[in-house]
Every structure is written in C-alpha cells, then in structure tokens.
Structure 1
Amino acid sequence: MSAVGLNAGLPATLEGWLALLEQRHGQRIELGLERVRKVKDAMAVSSDAVVITVGGTNGKGSCCAMLEGILLAAGYRVGCYTSPHLIRYNERVRIDGQDASDAQLVAGFEAVEAVRGDTPLTYFEHGTLAAWAVFAAVRLDVIILEVGLGGRLDAVNLFDADCSIVTSVAMDHMDFLGDTREAIGFEKAGIFRAGRAAVCGDPQPPASLVEHALTIGAELWISGRDFGFGGDRQQWGYWRYAEPPAQGPLVKRGGLAYPALRGTNQLLNASAVITALECLRTRLPVSMQHLRQGLMLVEVPGRFQVLPGRPAVVLDVAHNPQAAGVLAENLGSMGFYPETWAVLGMLADKDVEGVCALMAGRVDHWLLADLPGPRGLAAESLVGRLRAAGGKGDMHCFSSPAEAFAAAQKAAQEGDRIVVFGSFLTVADVLAAIKAARHR
C-alpha cells in the first residue's frame, strides 16, 4: 500500500474503498464536470494512447466489447472502462482483456484521493478518474471509455476522444437528460469532438445530434447514410462511403462471420465499430483477419446471454423500452418453447410499463422480484403495473431475483425457457446465484 493510504488511514482493500465511496457521497448521480475536472487537472496524469469514447442509450457494452476484441486480436495493448459491473467491480477496468487487480484499483483510488482535497466526487466520478490512473500506469495503445450516463456532462467526457461512437438514442434517464429524443440526443452528442470522427449507429438520429456535430465541426458518420451492412444467413458484409456525408467511392468489406454476440441488433453495433476503426486506420491499422477473429470471439455477459443446458436460460439487462423491444424480437427468433418463464426486477425510475408492454406477448409466467436500494421497485408494485401494460398469466412475488430464479428452475419443464431481465441488478443477482451453485 502507498504512503498516501498509510498516512491518511485510508482503506487497504478494494472492498473497503468501495464501501467508503458509497458512504461518502449519498447522491449517486450528479451531472456536471467542474468538480471532477478540478481533480483530474490536479492528478496531472496523461496517456499517449488513442482514446475511443462510446455513448448511447443501448449497445454501449456490446460496442466496447467488439472494439476490445478486435484490437486485442490485432496485437494492440488495450484498456477498457465500462459500467456497471455484474459480479465484481474489477470488471469495470480491463487491461489486455483481463480485469484489473485489486491492487491496481486501490492504487488508482489512492491517486485520486491524494489530490482531491475537499472536492466532493460521486462514486462513478472517483471510479472514472481511478480507472484513468490505472491505464496511465501501463503503456497502452488504445483506451476504450464507456459513458456512464448521457455524455456531455458525464465524467468520461473529460477525456478527449480521437473517435466517438453514439450507438443509439432512445428514451431513458429522462429525469437527467430530458423528456424528448431531441434533448437526449444533444446530451449524447456532447462526446463528439471538433475535427474528429463521430460515428452514429442510430439510422434515425435526432436532429439535435446532427446539428451539434455540424456546429462543432465533427466528422459525422451516420448508419444507413454513410455506412451500413447487408447479408444472408451465412455471412454479412460492411460498406461505407469514402467520406461523409455519402461522398466518394464505396468501400466494402465482405465475407464476415456474424458476431458471437446474439441478437438481431448486433450488426448495427458491429458496423458502427468497423466505421470507427476505419476512421482510425492510420493510427490503429486492423486486418480483415483480426476483424473477423475479434467479432467471432467477443462475449458480453448479460446481453442476450443464452446459458447452456435445459431448460434454456436467457439473461438480458434490458431495462428500457428500446432494449426490451430488441429482447422480445430476439426471443421470437429463438424457436419454439412450450412455456416462457420471466424473472423480472426493475428500478422505480425506469419506464416499467413501456418495458412490460413490449415483453407481455412473449411471457407465460411472471416471477417478480424485489430490488434493493432506494431506487429498487418492490415486486408487489410490479404486479399492477405489469397488468396495466398487458401482462397476462400467473404472477408471483419474491424477495430477490435469485429466489425468483430458483422458483422458475423448479417450475419450468426441460423444454421451456427462462428469461431473466429488467436491470443489471436482476441479472447480477441471478448470475451470482448460478456461480455459487456451481461451487457447492
């Protein structure tokens, strides 16, 4: 442990640091960059790595994983910062595809604390600066940063990106980002930088996003206009114009295997990722073989993750209507299952009715779970809202997602399907229970 930690009586373990940060700042979301910029400047920690920032409503984690997989396959040293985690905090900070060690994270937290003074930081802000300190301590070629919330005022946006990706723009976090797609699109576009590539994976972006990119002079690439994809059941192909908007000759990349990530929306994510890498090709050249390898091997726990065995178990962190719509579509393409059992737990500040309405037609039995914390919604409250959204079939309440999942396992037949969704907390609790059961 460093002298800073010893002299200040700070925690010696990662668990202690996380507990301290949770206690220190009760308000978990506090948008604004003034405080965190002050601490970042005091840290005076820099990196020569290429920076790619990924924002958007849905698909951020998938895009980060694809970028990481492709760049690792190409032999680059890669740092990747994502949130939230499912099981262990270490998942948020990866170096060369491996979770950062407790010691590395503790050193990062200490580096922030050494210069913070009396400036208050949220849990996420402290963690973001600590992740940057961890990356700066290692010689990396590229750093991938996932936006936590919004973009313009998110702590990740303190770091200037050489290329930015906005995956999609949909209604979520409306208390913080605004109650229209235009307002949310403006916040997402805040990660774009003048004179640098800005990739939009949403084929119908809000006008506010496009206007902001034009106003600051970003090089805006829009899915369906400047780049896109097509294919059949065996393979797919990518295309882009030489430069945006839809100018110059077409560049094509054919014979691509489908990404290992399941879901009909993954080609939207994959084509945005390839566009970003095409824009960075002079600094981070990637061969077609590396591209294929990275896409074929990529994994993201909790994103339409289908576990082996019977009954079939699907884990998806879908927690807003856009993600729920994609989940419902993906379930429809899985084939026939006599009965579908849903384990659902949600946060109270989400569009519960919107999510439930899109999933109502795919579920026969509902196992509703309480979620912890001030934002957690009680299972009893879910019943009425689920019914109002068109949910049918039997509904049962449980004190935790793990308890609800155990009940689903007992009730489901071998040929049935169990779907766990609604929140990262829901999927994390079930994954932890599955892991514990395997080690008994």
Structure 2
Amino acid sequence: MTDPSHPVAPASPAAEALATWLSRIEAMHPADIELGLGRLLEVAARLQVASLAMPVITVAGTNGKGSTLRLMTALAEQLGLKVCLYTSPHILHFNERVRLPDGLASDAQLCAAFDQVELARQGHGDEPPVPLTYFEFTTLAALWLFRDSGADLVLLEVGLGGRLDAVNIVDPDVSVVTSVGLDHQDWLGDTREAICAEKCGIARCGTPLVFGEQDWPANLTDCVAQYGAEGVLAGRDFGPHEGLLRLCDGQRIPLPTEVTLGRDNLCTAVQAMTLAGFSLQAHQIAAVAGVTLMGRCEYRRIQGADCWFDVGHNLPAVQRFHDLLADCPGRRHLVFGMMADKPREAVAGVFAEDARAIWYLAAPAIARSASTAALRAVLPADAVAAEYACVADAVHAALSAAIPGDQVVVFGSFHTVAEAWQAVEE
C-alpha cells in the first residue's frame, strides 16, 4: 500500500518552475480568503471541471478530515481502485495536496495545470482577468488534472467551512462532515450550530450526507433537511457496536480494535465508501487499521528518541492527540508553536498539568504566529520552559535533551510540524 504522506523531494528545474508559479499565484489576490463561488464557477465552466465523470466524495469538518480521507484512499487501494485526492494544507511540499492515480502530481503536471487555469481566468476582449485566491486557483488546477485522470473515485477535502468553499463547485455523490467544533470563528460563526450550517453546505438534494460525530450540533437534522439530503448520522444510522461496524443498510462488519487514525474516522470512511457504491469486506477494513498520516498523532524514532507530531490547532484536536499518546515513563519535551488567532491558552492547558513536561517554545516563520512571549504567558508560572529563535532550534534542543524513556512531542500548528520535519530531515 502506498503512503502519500512522505513525498520524495522534488528535483530542479521543474521544482523551480513550480516554486515560481506558487509565488505568482500567492501574489495574485490581496486576500488569503474570499468566500463565494461566483468567480470560481465562471472559470470552472471554461475549464470544464464543474462536474466530473467519476464518483466524488467531498469531506468537510473541523477535525478528522485528513484522517478520514487517508482511510478512504487506503480502502480504495484495497479494492484496486484508481483514486484522485485533493487535500490541504501541505506540510513539506505543495505536491502533497494533489494525488493522481499514479501518485502525487509531479511538478511538471502542476505547472501544466496552472497554465490552463491562468488561460481560463483571462477575460475576453476588454474584460479583466477573474481574480482568484491561492486556494481557488490551486483547487481549479487539481480538478483540471482529475478531469482526464481516468480515476475511479475522486476525494475532495474542504479547505474552510463548506458552503462557500472552492471545492463545493463540484456536486458530490456523497458528502461527509466528520465533526463540528469551534475553529475559524471569524469566517464561520461563533457557535457549533452556525459552523454546522456552513459545513453542511456541501450537501446535495437526494444524496447522502454522512455525519461522523456522535455529539450532534442541535441544528444538524434541520441542516440536512434544508438541503434535502439523506442524513446518515453517527450513533443513529451507523457506528461501532459490540465490536462490529453497523452500517446504515444493516450490514454488520467486524471492526478492528485498534485503528491508528481513529475508529470513528474509520467508521465514517467505510460508511461513505459504501454509500458511494463500493462494497468492502472485513479483511479489507482490517488491512487499513495501521495506516498513518503525516502530522496526525504520527510517531517516528529520530536520533534515538521517541517523537510524536500532530498538526492539531484547536482544543478538541489537541485533546484527542493527548489522549492517543503512548504512556511516557520519562519526561515529555514539548515543542510548542501556534498561530496568534488560535486558542493557545486552552491548547497549552491540555498538557499544563503534566509534571513531566519541559516546554520548548518557538514561533513558526509566518506572520500569524504567536510570539514565544505570548506562548510563555499561557503556561503555568512554575512551568519549565525556554524560548527559541525558531522551531528548528527548539526541536534540536529537545532531541539533545531527551534520554531513553522520554518523549519529544511537536504540536500546535501545521507550520510547527512542517518546520520541525524540515529541521530533522536536513
């Protein structure tokens, strides 16, 4: 089974061309996010990517999207299917975002797709080019590559929200909302109910909407009804029961006891695949129980130390990561960095009472990062903590200090994990 999580480093000169394209795309639009599908649909129509010939499963959710998509990809591989996968953000290389049936999209393939999007967004006559954000531009490029890929299944991850997200220009055969929590409140609303309404916007009339969290927002069933979707809800219609996975069609399939990416995510993945028309057997489900995903409670042995990496940046995600961590008989060396707009006090609080903790504070090299002083301010007064100039310095310090029985734990942001991985791979 292939693992798309760790791509091979790209080579020049194609890598240089891709880097140039990505810098150009990033500078095209004054905003990182501009919700709305009108501009996008115009360009998508020119590219003929607003609909795809193969089944499509679109996945939204506050947490669990990446893990559920990884599990669906692995299940599809068990069935011998050709799969396209679009996900974000990437950790080490942009190519991680776009997977084709033969593997991650190459630099040359991505550049060719960007050429096509650029041509399509140009106006006719005196019309100005259609403005596109970075995410919109790259989403269209991925869809253009998927269109003629010959894939049996396309899996799309929502970038933000759902209703107005770029991937929502494509009508899915099955929609999935993995979970609803408080994140991106400035864009999506400050209650679970408001966020639920946005995420359920990927639903389509007469098609299944799988909801993977048993703790439903109060308005979930109303949201499903609003879109005329067929709600398939965890705890009511499917889920684990006495060692079996109960599916909405009445099937009962043995469920692995231990699933690296979470039994809840596996249940959601199997239910969505079944609704998309793919039949799965117990041995195929068992075969993906050990599948991993870069940066999701990921374990690696580095320089003789037990190391764990997690990109979670909201309270439920970090609490889940904490609960999944293996027991630590020694000290926990916590390499911690977050964005300034994320709930750093609540996140730090998950580990704050751990008497074994030694904190290595660092701000990732991005403007939105919380300063090390701001990180230090949310720790208990008696916490053992040091501030570092960069994530790389913090990781190297933690690895140097760790002795047998200790853990090195890197968490708080995609950017923190990315810089940590770059540091240890140099």
**Partner residue in 2 for 1:337:** 329
Q: What pairs with 1:327-406 in structure 2 (closer than 5 Å)?
A: 327-331=321-325, 334-362=326-354, 364-384=357-377, 386-387=378-379, 390=380, 392-406=382-396
Deviates more, 1:117-126 or 1:350-359: 350-359
**Partner residue in 2 for 1:278:** 274
Distance 2:390 2:30 in 1: 23
8 A Cα contact 1:77 1:142, kept in partner? yes
**Partner residue in 2 for 1:300:** 293
- TM-score, normalised by the number of residues in structure 2: 0.91
Secondary structure of the 1:350 match is coil
Q: Amino acid of the residue matched to residue 377 of structure 1?
A: A
| 1:197 matches 2:208 | yes
Shift of 1:209: 2.8
- TM-score, normalised by the number of residues in structure 1: 0.88
Secondary structure of the 1:326 match is helix
Secondary structure of the 2:247 match is strand
**Partner residue in 2 for 1:84:** 89
Find 2:226's aligned residue among 200, 215, 221. 215
Distance 1:383 1:324 in 2: 18
8 A Cα contact 1:83 1:146, kept in partner? yes
Residue deviations 1:55-77 (CA, integer Å, cap 9, x gap): 10001000000000110120111
Shift of 1:308: 2.4
Residue deviations 1:146-196 (CA, integer Å, cap 9, x gap): 000111110011111100111110000001001111111111111111111
Distance 2:279 2:399 in 1: 47
Shift of 1:311: 2.4
Find 2:147's aligned residue among 129, 136, 141. 136
8 A Cα contact 1:313 1:417, kept in partner? yes
**Partner residue in 2 for 1:104:** 109
Q: CA RMSD in A?
A: 1.7
8 A Cα contact 1:318 1:423, kept in partner? yes
Q: Amino acid of the residue matched to residue 367 of structure 2?
A: P
8 A Cα contact 2:410 2:416, kept in partner? yes
Residue deviations 1:405-430 (CA, integer Å, cap 9, x gap): 00111112221111000000000111
8 A Cα contact 1:369 1:401, kept in partner? yes
| 1:41 matches 2:49 | no
- Rate the CA distance shift 1:255–1:411 in 2: closer, same or farther, 3 A: closer
Distance 1:409 1:424 in 2: 20
Q: What pairs with 1:160-199 in structure 2 (closer than 5 Å)?
A: 160-199=171-210
8 A Cα contact 2:253 2:281, kept in partner? no
**Partner residue in 2 for 1:318:** 312
Unaligned residue ranges in structure 1 (runs of 5+): 1-10, 243-249
- Rate the CA distance shift 1:325–1:273 in 2: closer, same or farther, 3 A: same
8 A Cα contact 2:299 2:309, kept in partner? yes
Q: Amino acid of the residue matched to residue 402 of structure 1?
A: A
- Rate the CA distance shift 1:373–1:324 in 2: closer, same or farther, 3 A: same
8 A Cα contact 1:152 1:191, kept in partner? yes
Secondary structure of the 1:61 match is helix
- Rate the CA distance shift 1:219–1:416 in 2: closer, same or farther, 3 A: same
Find 2:157's aligned residue among 142, 146, 149. 146
**Partner residue in 1 for 2:35:** 31
- Rate the CA distance shift 1:210–1:146 in 2: closer, same or farther, 3 A: same
8 A Cα contact 2:351 2:357, kept in partner? no
Distance 2:381 2:24 in 1: 41
8 A Cα contact 1:360 1:391, kept in partner? no
Distance 2:369 2:62 in 1: 20
Shift of 1:35: 1.2
